[in-house]
Structure 1
Amino acid sequence: MTALLRTLALALGCLPLAAPTAHAQANDFPAKPITIIVGYPAGGGPDIGARMLGEKLAARMGQPIIVENRPGVSGMMGASAVARAPADGYTLLFAPNTFLIAPHVLPKSANVKLDVLEDFVPVVAPSKGAMMLVAHPSLGVHNAKELVALLKKQPGLAYATPGSGSPMHIAGELFKKSAGVDMLHVPYKGVAPAIADVLGGHVKITYASIGVVAQHIAAGRLVALGMAEKERSPLMPELPTLAEQGYPNTATGAWYGVFAPKGTPQAVVEKLNREFNAVLRLPDTAAKLKQQWEVPLGGSPDDLARMAKAEYDNYGKIVKEFNISAD
């Protein structure tokens, strides 16, 4: 009996050690540089956002933040690198919400062996932008209702997107269904050539993130027709959503998320979340995000988890309904 009691005492004595160990990990974190992987080329929106936030995070955490670009396979190459990294908080993924669309639209030949919900731990959603419907001025329309009226008379007008399976492609298909109109999808190899052809009037309609087209709208080279969002954007509050104009179920959304490899200690995730949120509350951060046509978001890891799950499920249904696939 004495031996049994001694064994039980030793076992019970070990139990409280788990929590202090986790907290010790968080207290000591970070003890070396943190790498943020971006699955897109340098100079693009994800890269700019990651570098700006990384610089401010480094100042708070006392360690360098290294941003590494690993473009390819619709961002999945970078995501795969993070999923395979040690689950210690020193390797993070900075990704747009297209991260949650890619698995639904990529062909099997892409050979992406990744579960975007199960292979990662959500950290924080730093910011959001806005998706909008725009047209060339020569089309003669000034809002979504006028576009629909024109499409009723001239069905099959073309709309440009950065590629098949892109959020812009999905937005176009949702609008076609909601408005009961027909438009011809013209996919390009990226945002730049799609916008260039719309600016040139070769294709008259496109969807784009607000940051890509804002300067052209201000200069009168493009006309803003409506936001493809659930609510108006503070970045352009005068522009109504497509739903406000009578076309529901047309919202797509554009936001960024930070993710860590599955198995990253909760205490480390929580510390990263606190530090990101502290950076997002800085007035200078909000000002710099506004320059990129983004607004601070923030919130808890659970907030991002709910957003990611809802987005993944929603896009899965849409892609299946419209039989959408990537180029």
Structure 2
Amino acid sequence: MVPIDIAVGVLVDSRGRVLIARRRPDTPGAGFWEFPGGKREPDESIETCLSRELAEEIGVTNLRSRPLIRFTHDRGPRPVRLHVARIDQWTGEAAGREGQAVRWCDRDALSGVELLPATDVILAALSLPPVYLITPPVGRTREARESWFSALDRALRHQGTPDTPPMLRLRQPQLEDDDYAALARDVLVRARPFSARVLLDRSAALVERLNAHGLHWSARRAQRADDRPIGRDRWFAVSTHDSDELAHAETLGADFATLSPVARTASHPEARPLGWPAFEAYRGERALSVYALGGLGPTDLAPALDHYAQGVAGIREFWPGS
């Protein structure tokens, strides 16, 4: 069955709250709350559809928006393709113009709201920053470690946004487990002033023991698993390199993935880069956020968003002094 194209708008106010609307009694999903939007008409662009639907439903116009995520799901009565945009500026006072209830809601309070199926995918994308920072190897000498931690502080200071704190993957494959755990403790302490979220590479048990924010698995490790290894109260991410690995990450219930290499990298010069068309094709319409990784820097953020990435991930271009 061909999915229905739906334009969805996530309005975010100056306090970081989002606008949700309640489905009317005479509509599918009656009583559930959702982000406003509606079905695209024939020959109508997604942008035009979004503007029309939000003007009709909640009375806002002159939208200043950016793509957030596009994905397909069949958790409702029939498959839908959601084209979700984040909207930070508009004209008008949002109100229910079609008899529906609307309200502004803190994101932390949404867990207590009965939301439409698949809203969790949108909320994950909304909570993720545009840059996913990956750490380079830590040095063994005292001077090298001090320099590494100073670079960590600078990197965290410059990443994230006011309502999406920085996110960091502690990737240190050269360390033994005990040394990795000791470093993770120190990193978590250094990350706290920045409200940064730290994902560990090793085990769910270590994540929980150190009260880290999530777990990041390699593609090889993910391929050996059949179930999500950690609870929904923490982030779970997977490294991927093709559409099959992305499909498996989605099956495992990953919150997001990295897809690489998009461009040629100095660390893996033998790897054939995907390029943006293949990135977008592999990413497809999967119900998880995907970061573009490999040979990318801050100037690649705009093309990444244009190709339906959550943002960009990397080491060299985002780590001061690397």
The structure, 1 or 2, with the larger RCO (C-alpha pairs under 8 Å, 6+ apart) is: 1
Q: Judge same fold: TM > 0.5, yes or no.
A: no
TM-score, with length taken from structure 1: 0.27
TM-score, with length taken from structure 2: 0.27
Higher strand share: 2
**Which is higher, the Rg of structure 1 or of structure 2?**
1
Higher helix share: 1
